[in-house]
Homo-oligomer: A and B are copies of this chain.
Amino acid sequence: MALQRIIIENVRPRTPTSDYPAKSVAGEAVRVTADIYREGHDVLDAAVRWRGPSDKRWRLERLTDLGNDAWEATIQPSEIGLHRFVIEAWTDHFETWRQYLLRKHGAGLEIDTELEEGALLLEKYKVPAAKSKVLEKAIATLRDRSLHPDNRLAPANDFDVERITDAHPYHDDLSKSATHTLRVDRPRALVGAWYEFFPRSEGGLEGAIERLPAIAEMGFDIVYLPPIHPIGKTFRKGRDNTLTAKESDPGSPWAIGSDEGGHTAIHSDLGDFADFDRFVKEAESAGLEVAMDYALQCSPDHPWVKEHPEWFHHRPDGTIKYAENPPKRYQDIYPINFWPETGREELWQACKEILEFWIERGIRIFRVDNPHTKPFAFWDWMLSDLQDRYPDTIVLAEAFTRPKVMSKLAEVGFNQSYTYFTWRRTKQELTEYLTEVALTDKADYMRPNFWPNTPDILSDPLRGGEPGAFKMRFALAAIMSPSYGIYSGYELCENEPASPDNEEYLNAEKFEIRSRDWDDPDSLAPFITKINAARRRHPALQELRNIRFQHSSNERVIAFSKRTEGPSDVVLTVVNLDPDSVHETTLWLDLNQLGLPEDEPYEAHDEITDTTFVWSGPSPYVRLEPTDPVHLLHLRRRGAVISEPFS
């Protein structure tokens, strides 16, 4: 027979196809849910059995019946690696008997037969020692219940069934779900502030090391470097993507490979492997982790082009085709043909070895360039193997593409995903998008990483924008999402677009070396530092799924809260989305949901200005200048200890 006695369905967490592991990070509370039911009215019980890679046996967590056939448990795996879990359900004949007995007794009916049946159940399930005690207690309870003519079900502790059930599990009709998988990553896969910069603009790895203390001081967790490999000379691009590079033009770092080497070499202008190792070590000392770029494409001078011309696309005349997305042309880049007529396995292996090379050199975070132009089957094959062998690896998918493609890349194994946040501006857009990425099934397997800018994208309202616009977009990214990043120059409010209808930067750093005045007194570094400090101080800001939107009467002002369970930490953020005007609003806070008193004042401490407001009731008034468009408010009861654990 196809079906078991008890139906167990709709098990979460899961990916859309259930063919890949869902995701969590070590220490994160994972809500396991399922629909569980059988025919008739017998009472069920259910548990999740789960185990991590080094567990010798299954752990067991009892599920709770939420009503309407929905069940849940919370597990908290702490080991990194692939976990398995199975939902089990069984008929609880003892509880069925107990409830039936109580209902019948409550209705004033004879229960002699039922008491006999109880005795038989105890015998069947081999609990003779407890037998008389339980029955005695049952009868006493039933006597009490005759005082309650309303015939409500007795609470579960009416008599001590739980203890007997646990000691002598009698799993009749035992039914099991399929085995589901959960990949537990290290916490950095969920929470991290990324800072992207070009070492060559700092004079190479040596100079880049000097930037590390300032980056660390702003509170970033990760420094991400665009490709550091040799850059091709053939068809090298000049400034602003021009076709004729001058001798002094450095070329795009994404045009990877020259006679110096390919993806496993370092551009000699940046330094050598000793410099690289030192950079990684100094970053680590400063509390920063280094992320590298993994861009599977080659300049015409890449060694692979000579060694493996069969790995590329060819024109009828036999020459290799450069990348093109008309009208855009990338003459300096050869895309790889991932499904060549011959040599596919060798090619895929070679691509994987690049990552392995850098992993062996100590790198564990990679930002993957355009993964949506490579086959899903390739990522499936590569990432599953990689993550089994190096479970602390984190790969971020740079797939600014169609939603189903983005989602599928997350499903097949990417730990994080760039998102549409970059283009979500209005209150409605942001609310809908955050609901999608944080509050639907998508959060089971796709982790967003919010970027207000990248070297390719100077998005509205940053194009020609005032510092207030940069603050606003930064705060949204950094507070809404536990992972976010900026591309350097953001703190200096670099805002000149390449053209009015183009998202690229003018004087794009991709094609030239930029020098910057990091000591600019108008730098947003102090603002960034405050927000990153709040991210570290507040556990509430280190979760994705806890975002809740609060009502704001003004459509240009967005308000959202984040709250932890347990020792409650509550942060309310209010942002003026209009970079041009001052806005006022009346909020309507769900105080109950926020764990705040309805009937006495509470404090809202602004972590940016270090000002404390005393509010009362659910509808405080807020006013935000476009120059200071953000309130990051720690909400707390008055008189709460404010130094520990959250100040």
Q: Which residues of A contact B (CB under 8 A)?
A: 1-5, 7, 9-10, 16-17, 19, 35, 37-41, 68-69, 100, 103-104, 106-107, 109, 113, 116-117, 119-120, 151, 173, 315-317, 324-327, 329, 338-339, 372-377, 380-381, 402-405, 408, 412
Max chain B Cβ within 10 angstroms of own Cβ: one of A19, A40, A326? A326
Query: Given contacts A109-B326, A373-B39, is CB(A316)–CB(B116) below 8 Å?
Result: yes
Contacts of A325 in B (CB 8 A): 41
* Contact present for A375 and B69 (CB under 8 Å): no
Q: Least Cβ distance of A360 to chain B in Å? A: 26
Is A107's CB under 8 angstroms from B327's CB? yes
By beta carbon, the residue of chain B nearest A115 is B316
Chain B residues contacting A113 (CB-CB under 8 Å) are 315-317
Q: A556 to nearest B CB, angstroms?
A: 29
Min CB–CB distance A322 → chain B (angstroms): 11
CB distance from A314 to the nearest CB of B (A): 10
Is there an interface contact between B19 and A327, defined as CB atoms closer than 8 Å?
A: no
Nearest B-chain residue to A69, judged by Cβ = B404
B35 near A326 with CB under 8 A, answer: no
Instruction: Please report the C-alpha to C-alpha distance between residue A1 and residue B117 in the assembled complex, in whole angstroms.
Output: 56
**What residue of chain B has the Cβ atom nearest to residue A373's Cβ?**
B40
7 A/B residue pairs, CB under 8 Å, sorted by A: A4-B377, A5-B377, A39-B375, A107-B326, A109-B326, A113-B315, A119-B316
Is the beta-carbon distance between A35 and B372 smaller than 8 angstroms?
no
Q: How far is the CA of A380 from the CA of B5 in the complex (A)?
A: 11
A404 in contact with B37 given A2-B380, A103-B327, A326-B104 (CB within 8 Å) = yes
The minimal Cβ–Cβ distance linking A150 to chain B, given in whole angstroms, is 12
| Contact B109–A327 (Cβ < 8 Å) | yes
Chain B residues contacting A402 (CB-CB under 8 Å) are: 37, 68-69
B39 touches A1 (CB 8 A): no
CB of A100 within 8 A of CB of B326, answer: yes
In the complex, which residues of chain B have a beta carbon less than 8 angstroms from the beta carbon of A329? Answer: 109
Assuming A9-B17, A103-B327, A402-B69, is B380 touching A3 (CB within 8 A)?
yes
Contact indicator B381/A1 (Cβ below 8 Å): yes
Q: Are B3 and A376 in contact (CB under 8 A)?
A: yes
Pick the contact of A372: B40, B151, B327, B381 (CB < 8 A): B40
**Which residues from chain B contact A338 at a C-beta distance below 8 Å?**
39
A117 nearest CB neighbor, chain B only: B316
User: Hey, which chain B residues are within 8 Å of A104, CB to CB?
Assistant: 324, 326-327
A120 cross-chain contacts in B, Cβ below 8 A: 316
CA of A109 to CA of B331, assembled, Å: 13
Residues of B within 8 A of A1 (CB): 377, 380-381
Report chain B residues within 8 Å CB of A2: 19, 377, 380
- The answer for the CA separation of A405 and B106 in the assembled complex, in Å, is 28
B contact residues around A37 at 8 Å (CB): 402, 404-405, 408
Closest beta carbon of chain B to A384's beta carbon, Å: 9
With A107-B326, A151-B327 given, can you name 16 additional A-B contacts, CB distance below 8 Å? A2-B377, A3-B375, A5-B339, A9-B404, A37-B402, A37-B404, A37-B405, A39-B374, A39-B376, A40-B372, A68-B402, A69-B402, A104-B324, A107-B327, A109-B329, A113-B315
